[in-house]
């Protein structure tokens, strides 16, 4: 009898532990990180160079940035000058504000910081989008009047990714501005620059698309006849939901997706392995996310069914041309589902593959190539 009771107790405790781990995995996925921690260290500053701790990120090819003192100092970095074991020396190309010094720092792949005007010298307007959860701030960036697509009534709407801000989209703005294409860059619910909503949870694109729809409506209200979406990472998942669920979708003539989440289940299986969580345990939590009790368990507005985000399975539903830019070395959102989607719909999906770029860092590694592919795609969408 005692052995039976012990076995039952052990099984119950194991079940509770599995449920707790599954719940933790899902809550971590859905919870925005508003305060990002320093993750590297500036060791010395030389004439036009900076030496920092070496890591997979800091030794990567391309152009990046560092934050020091929270957001007190922002500096832009160029290519690697020298990599020597535990340290790496990179070009110091600009100090945007603050003062360069040794000490703790945070790696920043967005490269630019601030607003379109402060970062890029492009005038912009700040507006509030009218959404179902209240006003959302957005940038409206005019196209260059000398651009040869100006007057075409084509606009772009740029969508940042999970845990990011509108600054992530600054890398994509110059090519549209040069072409004469105006842009809208919206915030969306639970961003760090807006008041936190009740629950304060991401919905992986299941609700966020409504805020991006408000940006499309603003563009249409200002004279746009057609729109191109530009989505980064989870912003790609958001864009794809808009294309399948919004009444404005017929006015979207194309989407540029950088390292997009094409299938959340595949991405989260990968993240479970990276974080040493058994895939079956992670899937247990994600299955609960699709159930009615998800509101109570996870603080979301309603169930989130990941099958809605599997665009390889839903490939025959696509109606909008896509340009997908994705690095085969992306270890956060693997490129395999982008490849599978391109293979399933070669009539609509153009895939541009990179090597040597981390997640959403294709522009950083080769900005001219990135701009060139985007420009060609945008020109092809002008009717």
Q: What is the pLDDT along the chain (383 residues), one digit of tens a residue?
A: 544 443 333 333 334 345 677 878 888 889 888 778 899 999 999 999 999 999 999 999 999 999 999 999 999 999 999 998 999 999 999 999 999 999 999 999 999 999 999 999 999 999 999 999 999 999 999 999 999 999 999 999 999 999 999 999 999 999 999 999 999 999 999 998 887 777 789 999 999 999 999 999 999 999 999 999 999 999 999 999 999 999 999 999 999 999 999 999 999 999 999 988 889 888 988 998 998 888 888 888 889 999 999 999 999 999 999 999 999 999 999 999 999 999 999 999 999 999 999 999 999 999 999 999 999 999 999 87
Phi/psi region, residue 181 (left: phi>0; alpha: psi -120 to 50; beta: rest), is beta
pTM of the model: 0.93
The secondary structure element, H or E, covering residue 279 is: helix 279-289
**Predicted pLDDT of residue 18:** 52
Query: DSSP class of residue 54?
Result: -
pLDDT confidence of residue 1? 52
For the domain covering 116-263+310-380, report its CATH number: 3.40.50.1820
Residue 69 burial class via C-beta count within 10 angstroms: exposed 0-12, middle 13-18, buried 19 and up: middle
Query: Would you state the pLDDT for residue 372?
Result: 98
In whole angstroms, what is the distance from residue 311 CA to residue 324 CA?
Answer: 13
Q: Residue 10's pLDDT is what?
A: 36
Query: Is the CB of residue 186 less than 8 Å from the CB of residue 164?
Result: no
Short-list 250, 175, 187, CA closest to 215: 187
Tell me the C-alpha distance between 380 and 383, whole Å: 8
Are 364 and 111 in contact, with CB atoms under 8 Å apart? yes
**3-class DSSP state for residue 207?**
coil
Q: Give 255's strand partners.
A: 229, 322
DSSP string, 104-130: EEEEETT---S-HHHHH----EEEEEE
What Cα–Cα distance (Å) separates residue 111 from each residue in 60, 116, 138, 204, 364?
Answer: 13, 13, 20, 25, 8
From CA 116, how far away is CA 68, in angstroms rounded? 21
**Any idea which fold 40-108 has?**
Thrombin, subunit H (2.40.10)
**What is the per-residue pLDDT for 19?**
67
Give domain limits for the chain.
40-108, 116-263+310-380
| Beta carbons of 341 and 349 less than 8 angstroms apart | yes
| Structure letter (DSSP) for residue 313 | T
The DSSP output letter for 132 is B
């Amino acid at each position: 009898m005692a052995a039976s009771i012990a076995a039952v107790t052990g099984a119950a405790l194991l079940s509770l532990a599995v449920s707790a781990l599954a719940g933790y995995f899902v809550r971590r996925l859905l919870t925005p990180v508003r305060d990002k921690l320093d993750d590297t260290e500036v060791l010395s500053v030389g004439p036009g160079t900076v030496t920092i701790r070496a890591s997979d990120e800091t030794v990567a090819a391309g152009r990046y940035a560092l934050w020091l003192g929270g957001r007190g100092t922002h500096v832009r970095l160029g290519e690697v000058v020298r990599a020597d074991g535990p340290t790496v020396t990179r070009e110091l190309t600009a100090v945007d504000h603050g003062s360069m010094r040794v000490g703790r720092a945070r790696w920043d792949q967005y490269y630019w910081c601030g607003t379109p005007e402060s970062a890029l010298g492009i005038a912009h307007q700040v507006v509030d989008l009218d959404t179902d959860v209240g006003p959302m701030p957005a940038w409206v960036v005019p196209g260059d009047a000398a651009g040869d697509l100006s007057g075409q009534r084509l606009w772009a709407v740029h969508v940042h990714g999970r845990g990011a801000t509108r600054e992530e989209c600054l890398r994509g703005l110059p090519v549209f501005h040069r072409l004469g294409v105006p842009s809208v860059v919206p915030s969306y619910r639970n961003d760090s620059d807006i008041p936190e909503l009740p629950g304060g949870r991401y919905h992986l694109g299941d609700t966020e698309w409504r805020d991006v729809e408000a940006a499309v409506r603003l563009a249409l209200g200002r004279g746009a006849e057609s729109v191109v979406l530009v989505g980064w990472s989870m912003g790609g998942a958001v864009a794809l939901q808009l294309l399948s669920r919004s009444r404005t979708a017929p006015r979207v003539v194309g989407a540029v997706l950088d390292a997009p989440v094409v299938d959340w289940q595949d991405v989260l299986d990968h993240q479970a392995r990276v974080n040493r969580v058994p895939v079956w345990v992670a899937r247990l939590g994600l299955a609960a996310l699709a159930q009615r009790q998800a509101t109570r368990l996870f603080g979301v507005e309603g169930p989130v069914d990941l099958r809605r985000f599997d665009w390889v399975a839903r490939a025959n539903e696509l109606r909008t041309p896509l340009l997908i830019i994705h690095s085969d070395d992306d270890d956060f959102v693997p490129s395999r589902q982008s490849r599978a989607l391109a293979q399933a719909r070669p009539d609509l999906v153009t895939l541009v593959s990179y090597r040597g770029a981390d997640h959403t860092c294709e522009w950083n590694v080769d900005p001219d190539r990135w701009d060139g592919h985007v420009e060609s795609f945008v020109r092809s969408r002008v009717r």
